[in-house]
Amino acid sequence: MWRELLRWRLSQAPLDPHGKFGTMDDSNLDHWWFCVKHQRPEHGNPCGTSDRLGPFPDEATAARAPEIARARTAAADAYDEE
């Protein structure tokens, strides 16, 4: 049963910008992420994939992740209202 659950989970995993599934690999270690749990930017993947936003190219951009997310949500909401 766990294999079926794993297959289902992998089929639901979003693709990152490089076309890979949302799993941890060496390419994720080069990016910055915003940890939602700790409310700070982190390099690599110390907190796991479910508690992060990103990837971002640098620490400064990752630190602005909540602001970026709010702006994107507002833009999507405005588009939906049109």
Cα→Cα distances 4→1, 11, 37, Å: 5, 11, 29
The answer to whether residue 13 scores a pLDDT higher than 80 is no
pTM metric for this prediction? 0.60
Can the peptide bond before residue 46 be classed as cis, meaning omega within 30 degrees of 0? no
- In tens, the pLDDT along 34-81 reads 999 999 999 987 877 788 898 999 999 999 999 999 999 999 999 888
Those residues whose C-beta lies under 8 Å from the C-beta of residue 44, and which sit 6 or more positions away, are 28, 29, 31, 33
| Residue 40 structure tokens | 């700070």
Distance CA 52, CA 66 (A): 11
The answer to whether residue 2 scores a pLDDT higher than 80 is no
Question: Which helix (DSSP H) or strand (DSSP E) does residue 55 occupy?
Answer: strand 52-56
